[in-house]
Amino acid sequence: MNIDFITIGERLLAGGIALGGRILGALIIFLVGRLLISFLNKMLARILERRKVDAGIQTFLKSLVNILLMVLLIVAIVDQLGIETTSFAALLASAGVAVGMALSGNLQNFAGGLIILLFRPYKVGDWIECQNVSGSVREIQIFHTILTTADNKVVYIPNGSASSGVIVNYSREDTRRVEWVVGVEYGEHYDRVEDTVRHILAAEKRILTQPEPYVALSALDASSVNVVIRVWVKNSDYWGVYYDVNRAIYEEFNRAGIGFPFPQLTIHTAKD
């Protein structure tokens, strides 16, 4: 059997050149596509900012559009490589059921993201507590809500869990109530304690006058008489007022001679 090595070589060379051309074309499509996707993402971001769209919706739409554009780019590269897109689509469709079952959690997260954007239990910038995590909402993506905690940790919470769980939004209202429970020794005159507390509260200008500050004797505890103090402040002033009034109470009580209690245990010994 005669083997025409020259013909085989020519065919291999022609096939190699064709394959190289397809690979080069796919590489060009990839590079141009990446540049085009980057341009479109930036253009979308500018349009959303110009229209003053909510920051949460912005991050969600940018994430979604970026994924769709990447899928289109992959399809274009596959087509350039000579793979039948109809066969490729059929392969994706057949694998879609299995992938869909494997990614059912992500589908729930996507639906959860839509629910969050629709009902708006929180928005970007809000301080929330969700899934036992507290933090500032940094982004609302298509699958996750990203929080930044007080100690600068980045936490990804699935949107499905966030939309179906309990959410505490500390930033929704303009005002918040600050509360202290201060214990004083038994034997202290309550009127003097209350007058001292009200003097401290009156000196703190960040405390709102309406609703009026509330001071009352809340409990006769085992080793202390507990006084509850409740005031209303602007949301942004909450922690500043909380810590500053704590310090003022400590200093003013010491200056006024009002004693702070400490646990005491009285032991009676039996006599023979």
121: pLDDT strictly greater than 50: yes
Contact, 213 vs 230, CB < 8 A? yes
With cut-offs at 50, 70 and 90, classify the pLDDT of residue 100. Answer: low
Say which range, 74-78, 154-158, 177-181, has the weakest mean pLDDT.
Answer: 74-78
158: pLDDT strictly greater than 80: yes
Q: Residue 206 in 3-state DSSP?
A: coil
* pTM of the entire predicted model: 0.63
Q: Does an H or E element contain 267, and which?
A: none
Average pLDDT on 117-140 reads: 92
CATH code where residue 43 lies:
1.10.287.1260
Cα distance between residue 161 and residue 149, in whole Å: 18
Q: What is the mean pLDDT of the chain?
A: 84
Strands in 214-220's sheet, in edge-to-edge order, are: 175-184, 225-234, 214-220
Average pLDDT on 137-156 reads: 93
Average pLDDT on 27-33 reads: 84
Quick: pLDDT tens for 185-210.
999 999 999 999 999 999 999 999 99
Whether 145 and 93 share a structural domain: no
Whether 81 and 146 share a structural domain: no
Whether 144 and 185 share a structural domain: no
1: pLDDT strictly greater than 60: no
> Could you tell me if residue 72 is inside a domain?
yes
> Could you tell me if residue 271 is inside a domain?
no
For 74, the domain range is: 12-102
> Could you tell me if residue 3 is inside a domain?
no
* Residue of higher predicted confidence among 102 and 180: 180
Whether 95 and 41 share a structural domain: yes
88: pLDDT strictly greater than 60: no
With cut-offs at 50, 70 and 90, classify the pLDDT of residue 222. Answer: confident
Residue 112 phi, psi (nearest 5): -65, -40
Contact, 228 vs 215, CB < 8 A? yes
| DSSP codes of every residue in 2-66 | ---HHHHHHHHHHHHHHHHHHHHHHHHHHHHHHHHHHHHHHHHHHHHHHTT--HHHHHHHHHHHH
Quick: pLDDT tens for 223-252.
899 999 999 999 999 999 999 999 999 999
CATH code where residue 191 lies:
3.30.70.100
Average pLDDT on 209-219 reads: 95
Place of tokens 């936490």: 155
Average pLDDT on 246-269 reads: 87
